[in-house]
Amino acid sequence: MPFETAYKKEILQEYEQIRFRNRQLLNERIQNIRKEVPRIAEIDAQIRDMTIDAALAHDEPVDEAFLAQQTQTLIDEKYEILKQAGYPSDYLSTIYTCTKCSDTGYINHEPCDCMKQKMVQRQYKHSNLGSKLEEENFKSFCLDYYSNLSDGKHELTPRANMENTYHSLLKYIEGIDSYFEGNTQQKGSILFQGSTGVGKTFLSNCVAKELLDKGYAVLYVSAGTLFEKISDVVMNKNQIADSQSFYQAVNECDILIIDDLGTEYINNFTASYLYTLLNDRLLRRKATIISTNLSLADLRQHYSERIFSRICDSYLIYTIYGDDIRFVKRKAWQSSSDN
Ligand SMILES: [Zn+2]
């Protein structure tokens, strides 16, 4: 799981706040209980005085064992009073929201589960996908939308093709850690190609959810928005902070999803930027998932030979075909309401 992301700093600050709040809460508890049970205040004062005296006693040697025993007797008395007043024995101990990592986020330099969860929550929030993934994920994936009849153009029926795609994507998700770890056999990027409404965006959302749940930083962006914001950065010489942080996120996220490539206005700038972006992400072993209505031949023609060959060499390419799912759904809904 990659942790060197922009959110790490934010999360570490969150842990600081948690520890601060817990210290405040403990302080309040101590103050209140001293008022409620004055003997506890006396015990605390006694322990404090004893510790100070021992620290200041330069001339005479301190009987450490005796001191420890006296302190323990006072602590035992305090616990007993707490118990009798109806408080749990750890009521005045340091408070931890996560006892596993003591609110540091790490156990032996490895991220604690609470840290992983915070990371995933952040990745969701910043992915631009958010609540969409509650509906669009592999659990709601349904092969029934794909016909079992040949379309006369492809060797496999739309359903058989989708079934293959589905299994291949599961393998991709399984192997993604290995890609990020540097396994050169594993491909990290995907191109979903096919006409409108066949489920390309849905599939890329399914993959996005799985990768987010694995803790990766995913960023979804439509091709139109991508090029619009990037030209903002270029034209305005990086003056707009919002565009600037977008630019950074596009470059740095683990998985960049570019939806509907080909619907944006294509010119020399977009074609050259796209090549730089895709190539740079490949070199840095970042993953990119593209969906497009364009065929591979169109990609070559509209963008460049270089983009075409990068994609052919380094991407998993899935051609999705079948009926427009919105149309299939409407038909199914109509026939169910006719019955
Ligand atoms: Zn923890």
> Which of 107, 138, 164 is the last residue in one of the domains?
107
Q: Which residues of the chain have pLDDT under 50?
A: 1-4
Q: How far apart are CA 52 and CA 130, in angstroms?
A: 56
For residue 114, the number of C-alpha atoms closer than 13 Å in the C-beta half-sphere is: 17
> Which of 73, 107, 141 is the last residue in one of the domains?
107
Q: Are residues 148 and 282 in the same domain?
A: yes
Whether residue 148 contacts residue 159, with contact meaning beta carbons closer than 8 Å, is answered with yes
Strand 106-107 relative to strand 110-111, pairing: antiparallel
Which helix (H) or strand (E) segment holds residue 288: the answer is strand 287-292
How many domains does the structure of the chain reveal? 2
Q: Are residues 163 and 261 in the same domain?
A: yes
Q: How far is the CA of 125 from the centre of ligand 1 (A)?
A: 21
Q: Are residues 93 and 36 in the same domain?
A: yes
pTM for this entry = 0.74
Q: What is the pLDDT of residue 290?
A: 96
Q: What is the pLDDT of residue 278?
A: 95
CATH code for the domain of 295:
3.40.50.300
Q: How far is the CA of 283 from the centre of ligand 1 (A)?
A: 34
Q: How far is the CA of 113 from the centre of ligand 1 (A)?
A: 6
Which helix (H) or strand (E) segment holds residue 328: the answer is helix 325-338
- Token pair 């706040």 is at which residue? 17
Q: How far is the CA of 282 from the centre of ligand 1 (A)?
A: 34
Q: Are residues 314 and 166 in the same domain?
A: yes
Q: How far is the CA of 260 from the centre of ligand 1 (A)?
A: 40
Where would I find the H helices in 100-155? 113-126, 132-135
Q: How far is the CA of 8 from the centre of ligand 1 (A)?
A: 14
Sign of the alpha-carbon torsion through 242, 243, 248, 250? positive
Q: How far is the CA of 95 from the centre of ligand 1 (A)?
A: 13
Q: How far is the CA of 114 from the centre of ligand 1 (A)?
A: 4
Q: How far is the CA of 33 from the centre of ligand 1 (A)?
A: 28
Q: What separation in angstroms does the CA of 249 have from each of 7, 96, 133, 221?
A: 11, 33, 20, 11
For residue 4, the number of C-alpha atoms closer than 13 Å in the C-beta half-sphere is: 2
Residue 256 DSSP class: E
Which helix (H) or strand (E) segment holds residue 106: the answer is strand 106-107
> What's the angle, vertex CA 314, arms to CA 274 and CA 299, rounded to 5?
45
Q: How far is the CA of 112 from the centre of ligand 1 (A)?
A: 5
Q: What is the pLDDT of residue 2?
A: 46
Q: What is the pLDDT of residues 222-232, one digit of tens each?
A: 999 899 888 88
Q: State both tokens at 11.
A: 């999360």
Where would I find the H helices in 37-101? 38-56, 64-84
Q: What separation in angstroms does the CA of 32 have from each of 29, 49, 227, 265, 338?
A: 5, 21, 59, 66, 69
Q: How far is the CA of 122 from the centre of ligand 1 (A)?
A: 16
Q: What is the pLDDT of residue 192?
A: 97
Q: How far is the CA of 27 from the centre of ligand 1 (A)?
A: 22
Q: How far is the CA of 111 from the centre of ligand 1 (A)?
A: 8
Which residue range is the domain that position 281 belongs to? Answer: 127-328
Q: How far is the CA of 21 from the centre of ligand 1 (A)?
A: 16
Q: What is the pLDDT of residue 216?
A: 87
Q: Are residues 174 and 91 in the same domain?
A: no
Q: Are residues 310 and 189 in the same domain?
A: yes
The CB density around residue 56, as the number of other CB atoms within 10 Å, is 8
Residue 143 DSSP class: G
Residue 120 within a domain: no
Q: How far is the CA of 116 from the centre of ligand 1 (A)?
A: 9
Residue 44 within a domain: yes
The percent of the chain in helix, strand and coil, each rounded to the nearest 5, is 60, 10, 30
Where in 194-264 does DSSP place strands (E)? 218-222, 255-261
